[in-house]
A and B are shown apart, each in its own frame.
Chain A
């Protein structure tokens, strides 16, 4: 058994809320030390059951301004010069809404797990379950523009992350000429917003004015994608300029009337996905055969979505808006003009961020001392390595890199990109020489 207690203070927080108490406790039982397993190392070499519970604090957040990050509880001023009389005139303006009550973001984590080792530790690993509840999240909360600001830093809401972590390491073959080990790591995660005060259901937009939205609502992942569901495409004859969009895809699409009231309004928007992976896994194999060594890692992620508006840029879809929605109505395709909505507001841009990759491959040859002795060298290794030799994405993803997240994203409006910076496939070859 282990118990600890921390009491921390941070200069980030308000005068009366600087201190936080963070106790933790854990229990473990080394079952392999018990009599009934003590002599069975060949079968069960390690078996430990453990459970821990603890509180931790977080004082870190970023709002894109270093000074606000450091002193969010103070009312700060910012240089705010203006041109007057033809030259720069020094001015100041308020930088933030001071929050004198700001306090620690607190996380509770409950974590039971098993560590195991079988057959003289040829097979080792662990299985963990975790529930981490983060409370009083440090977030930028939107405020009315009438205050003179668009957001203030607050302690708001509660998020739960839960899932399993699994790790398995095996020494498949282990003798002097041939060694082969395998490592499998996998984790699952479920993100759920448990409470969000008055901001439950708040919609947020991205920082570049493309009107794509996120929703933060209780019972769903924080920063879920939100928008319309595409019903069908419209024919090129209704496009303003059908030849400009590459592949002839219009920016306007017909969307579904989810509440069936015959009009498309905000009430027809729904949650379209979230940027958090359900499962992330990797499998690594290493081989040593004589003087050769060889390893590779494959990796994958499933269940996350990314909001990708790359096509709007690369396919010039912006220019494919219909001039006259009434023509589409008159043709009997849609009941009224509200059924035509820009594609960036729909599930069409919320795409699977899942991937499968051969993340890296390494191969090398180490020359032996005997081989090197006549060259007067201490060591010589010839190697080659490659990253992302194979990289497969979902069929519905049409950007360059599903793992890319635009750096303007905030925790409440997370997971968008404009096709992303392409992933590099690199191949490296080299020689290491020691004299």
Chain B
């Protein structure tokens, strides 16, 4: 028995040394860990592709839970089309039906999702920028420029939709409350956007249409210059002319091909989806149906009579591609799911309308031509400038109008805005166009009065900062007026 104390000691020793470091700190085989991952050029590129994934967003038909998934730009039509005179929802279910009635509140899910989605894009861009030195030296500038383009893309949406917003250009942790919850002036946000886009113009080429390119940066920057608080129309004009003179893009002869022939000559930048792929598809094409409902909800982006009337007046041959009258509703036709046939009754929508592959067109050549005219108009009421009218007429002629007989001697602001309305209908431009042309309040207040949307007031032109952000901020984050 005299050895028992040693046996006990050995036993205790085993107790305290039974686990080695690797057992308790396993390097997971099934997961990728940041510190171990970013080691090569290809890894940085994978990080950049991950930013596009955030812009694409998760199909609502695949993952319905809102806390687990961001929608990227998939909900943008609610904020930029339904919140204008263009469209509305078929019924009044849920917060998605609050946009067209101008009764969005700080708990609105889709408005909040846009805020969340765009900051996810910004975070991913900031995160990749921290690892940029891992990339091959030849690629560092273009990779950084690409990340900055995407960061600018996100901030441009935020500043137009929410006004002053927190401005972060590095990865920020959850405890850095000053950075997370301090709203910066729109001038400061625009200055960051301009600097990021200028970097993209300087360091990118036109290799890609579904990733950032020089032309995409030029076009977006032109729009930024015309939107910012003190517009710079001549800088915008130079950028539009750089795209036109580059001769790398052209109008499709057939308007329908713009939407049903992906990455065609007219597309400068598009966010892509893949039909039938639950993870890489979009939900909005199915939501644009109501009569033979394909989506989860009763029908979104139903076309207002007011827009139909403008199409009848100036749409030319664009009408059939843009929308169609089902007899019950006027539905969007630019993004019909693959395999759709609306000539038969009842219409068919292909084999997987809920996992649609139609791209979101962010920028196309027709938009640049009309921006060119806009930059020469330079905020004025009209222009007689020949090159402005040339750009305007190029879009009109493609729509079936005559180059000489239908050519106006003067191009007015109203004419140009209406032209943008029909050419770019349902392409998430209308709300931003109204803001940029400085007519959002008169146009939308008249529209709200006509439709009986009594909740409209000018403050609805800015969306509310999400209530959950304000709740988390301990009083640091302020709300937009009127909410």
User: A75-B33, A86-B263, A88-B280 are known contacts. Are A93 and B47 too (CB-CB below 8 A)?
Assistant: yes
Q: Which residues of B contact A25 (CB under 8 A)?
A: none
> Across the interface, do A83 and B115 meet the contact criterion of CB distance under 8 Å?
no
Cα distance A151–B19 in the bound complex, in angstroms:
32
Report how far A413 CA is from B33 CA in the complex, Å.
30
CB distance from B5 to the nearest CB of A (A): 19
**B109 touches which of A10, A67, A203, A209 (Cβ 8 Å):** A209
- Within the complex, which residue of B16, B23, B210, B279 is in contact with A11, where a contact is CB–CB below 8 Å? B23
CB distance from A243 to the nearest CB of B (A): 14
Assess the A319–B49 pair: CB atoms within 8 A: no
Expressed in whole angstroms, the Cα–Cα distance for A143 and B279 within the complex equals: 26
Asked whether B26 is an interface residue with its Cβ less than 8 Å from the other chain, the reply is yes
Least CB distance from B452 to A in Å reads 7
Q: Is the CB of A202 within 8 A of B471?
A: yes
> Would you call A94 and B174 a contact (CB within 8 A)?
no
The distance from the CB of B26 to the nearest CB of chain A, in whole angstroms, is 6
Q: Residues of A at under 8 Å CB distance from B?
A: 7, 9-11, 15, 18, 64, 67, 70-71, 74-78, 80-95, 97-98, 142-152, 198, 202-203, 205, 207-211, 240, 266, 318-319, 321, 323-326, 408
Given A83-B273, A142-B468, are A90 and B49 also a contact pair (CB < 8 Å)? yes
The interface bits of chain B over 33-71 (1 if a CB of A lies within 8 angstroms of the residue's CB, else 0) are 111010000010011111111101000000011111000
Residues of A within 8 A of B277 (CB): 83, 88
**B50 to A408, Cβ gap below 8 A?**
no
Question: How far is A426 from B171 in the complex, measured between Cα atoms in Å?
Answer: 57
Q: Are the C-beta atoms of A148 and B94 separated by less than 8 Å?
A: no
Partner of A71 from B31, B126, B181 at Cβ < 8 Å: B31
- A97 CA / B33 CA spacing, docked (Å): 12
A15-B25, A148-B123, A207-B68 known; A324 vs B174 contact (CB < 8 Å): no
List 7 extra interface pairs beyond A70-B28, A82-B272, A210-B94, CB under 8 A: A67-B30, A77-B32, A142-B472, A145-B115, A146-B181, A147-B119, A208-B65
Q: Is the CB of A86 within 8 A of B67?
A: no
On whether A74 and B47 interact (CB within 8 A), knowing A84-B210, A144-B472, A147-B173, the answer reads no
Residues A318 and B92 in contact, CB atoms below 8 Å apart: yes
Taking a contact as CB atoms closer than 8 A, the residue among B180, B274, B473 that contacts A88 in the complex is B274
Chain B residues whose C-beta falls within 8 Å of the C-beta of A67 in the assembled complex: 28, 30-31
Does B231 lie at the interface of the complex (its beta carbon under 8 Å from any beta carbon of A)? no
Interface size class of B (residues with CB under 8 A): 35 or more
Contacts of A143 in B (CB 8 A): 174, 472
Query: Does A144 lie within 8 Å of B473, measured CB to CB?
Result: yes
Residues in A with CB closer than 8 Å to B56 are: 82-83
Q: Is B10 an interface residue (CB 8 A)?
A: no
Which residues from chain B contact A78 at a C-beta distance below 8 Å?
32
Task: List the count of A-B residue pairs having beta carbons below 8 Å apart.
Answer: 202
Say yes or no: A71 contacts B47, CB within 8 Å. no
With A and B bound together, what is the CA distance between A305 and B52 in angstroms? 43
Query: Which residues of A sit under 8 angstroms from B171, Cβ to Cβ?
Result: 148
For the complex, give the distance between the alpha carbons of A70 and B209 in Å.
39
How long is the Cα–Cα vector from A91 to B45 in the complex, in angstroms? Answer: 7
For the complex, give the distance between the alpha carbons of A74 and B48 in Å: 21
The interface residues of chain A lying within 8 Å CB-to-CB of B254 are: none
Contact present for A318 and B47 (CB under 8 Å):
no
Q: Which residues of B contact A (CB under 8 A)?
A: 15-16, 19, 23-26, 28, 30-35, 37, 43, 46-54, 56, 64-68, 91-95, 107, 109-110, 115-116, 119-120, 122-124, 126-127, 166, 168, 171-174, 177, 179-181, 208-211, 262-263, 272-274, 277, 279-280, 452, 454, 466-469, 471-474
Q: Which residues of B contact A150 (CB under 8 A)?
A: 67, 116
Q: Which 5 pairs from chain A and chain B are nearest by CB?
A: A148-B123, A91-B49, A93-B50, A209-B109, A318-B93
**Contact residues in A for B179 (Cβ distance below 8 Å):** 146
A408 touches B65 (CB 8 A): yes
Q: Which residues of A contact B168 (CB under 8 A)?
A: 146
Determine whether the beta carbon of A90 is less than 8 Å from that of B116.
no
In the bound complex, what is the Cα–Cα distance between A412 and B19 (angstroms)?
34
B462 to chain A, nearest CB (A): 17
Chain B's nearest CB lies how many Å from the CB of A81? 6
A318 and B35 form a contact (CB under 8 A):
no
A86 / chain B contacts, CB cutoff of 8 Å: 210, 262-263, 272
A82: B residues at CB distance < 8 A: 49-50, 52-53, 56, 272, 280
Give Cα A88 to B272, complex, Å.
10
Q: Which of B31, B49, B64 contacts A84 (CB 8 A)?
A: B49
Q: Are A92 and B472 in contact (CB under 8 A)?
A: no
Taking the closest CB of chain B, its distance from the CB of A315, in whole angstroms, is 13
Are A94 and B95 in contact (CB-based, < 8 A)?
no
30 contacts between A and B (CB under 8 A): A7-B16, A11-B24, A11-B26, A18-B25, A71-B31, A71-B33, A76-B31, A81-B49, A81-B53, A82-B53, A82-B272, A83-B272, A85-B272, A92-B47, A92-B49, A94-B123, A94-B127, A95-B31, A97-B173, A143-B174, A144-B472, A145-B116, A146-B172, A150-B67, A202-B471, A209-B66, A211-B95, A211-B109, A266-B467, A318-B94
Query: When chains A and B are docked, how far (Å) is the Cα of A94 from the Cα of B274?
Result: 23
**Quick one: given A91-B49, A202-B471, A205-B468, are A83 and B280 in contact (CB under 8 Å)?**
yes
